[in-house]
Amino acid sequence: MSTFWSIWVSVIVLGTVFGCWWLLLATRKSQTTDAETERTTGHSFDGIEEYDNPLPKWWFYLYVATCIFALGYLALYPGLGNYKGLLNWTSTNQWEAEVAAADEKYGEIYAQYGQTPVPELATNDDALKIGQRLFANNCSVCHGSAARGQVGFPNLTDDDWLWGGSPDAILETLHNGRKGNMPAKGVMPNMTNEQVDQVVNYVLSFSGREKDAAAAKLVKPYSPRAALPATAQTLRACKPWVHRI
Ligand code: HEC
């Protein structure tokens, strides 16, 4: 933050703390006595009168303590523009310290798991519990809390795998990610340009934007036979479809 804004923030923060302090002392000055009296401020609302008594002592000192705490806090922690605070605290180094503590605590367990083959880990209750929590935090947002998937995100509980369900294939999926792709011309690599035009019009017609209604009508619904000349890659990309036929 530039020096200007640093000073701006500091003046507002310190001004607020000292302003509160001033308010407390300024209002106390008008008190002529420390003792409680029957004197009223002279206001009367619906017959209810307001006493003009000093603030209770406990309240007064609590207020003073709050101001002192605020100044102490601002001295120790960053709160005044660019001033870093005596403790040099930042959210980043707090996070790094927490990560280092966690690494020390769990590092050994994970290192041990890392060397255990997956099928063996799958029978380890502790490992499964950790895996379940990791899944809930990192995977369920897409695959669902029961891993049954949803539109666009594969179901992981069935035996139908896009990329393979062996431990090694799943490890590969997790380590490197997978990118499903749409092969050019779908499952019909030998589609003519005319057919491409027709299918474009057909697709446009879904959203009521067809350019050439006659061309759109020429497109025949998907036929599994067209998939026959497809390459292995094409087939894999279209597996969810092919399965449903
Ligand atoms: C941002 C959404 C998202 C998150 C988060 C996510 N996935 Fe996925 N996952 C997908 C999508 C989309 C696919 C399909 C990818 C494709 O086919 O190209 C997929 C595919 C997979 C596959 C391959 C399924 C198959 O049929 O081969 C596995 C296994 C998998 N995810 C496990 C996980 C695990 C475990 C996590 C948590 C560490 C996770 N995913 C987190 C979206 C997500």
Please tell me which residue, 168 or 28, carries the higher pLDDT value.
Answer: 168
Separation between Cα atoms, residue 188 and residue 226, nearest integer Å: 6
Please tell me which residue, 113 or 33, carries the higher pLDDT value.
Answer: 113
pLDDT, position 40: 83
Question: What pTM value is reported for the model?
Answer: 0.57
Confidence of residue 140 (pLDDT cuts 50, 70, 90): very high
pLDDT, position 189: 83
193 alpha carbon – ligand 1 mean position (Å): 35
Confidence of residue 243 (pLDDT cuts 50, 70, 90): very low
pLDDT, position 43: 86
Residue ranges and CATH numbers for the domains of the chain are 3-76 (no CATH), 94-154 (1.10.760.10), 193-244 (no CATH)
pLDDT, position 121: 92
Locate the ligand 1 atom nearest the alpha carbon of residue 179 and give its number: 18
pLDDT in tens, 50-84: 888 888 889 999 999 999 999 999 999 999 999 99
CB 50 within 8 A of CB 40: yes
pLDDT, position 221: 60
92 C-beta neighbours (distance < 10 Å), count: 8
pLDDT, position 102: 95
Using DSSP, state whether 156 is helix, strand or coil.
Answer: coil
Residues having CB within 6 Å of any atom of ligand 1: 138-139, 141-143, 153-154, 156, 161-163, 170, 173-174, 178-180
**Is 209 a residue whose pLDDT tops 60?**
yes
pLDDT in tens, 220-229: 665 544 444 4
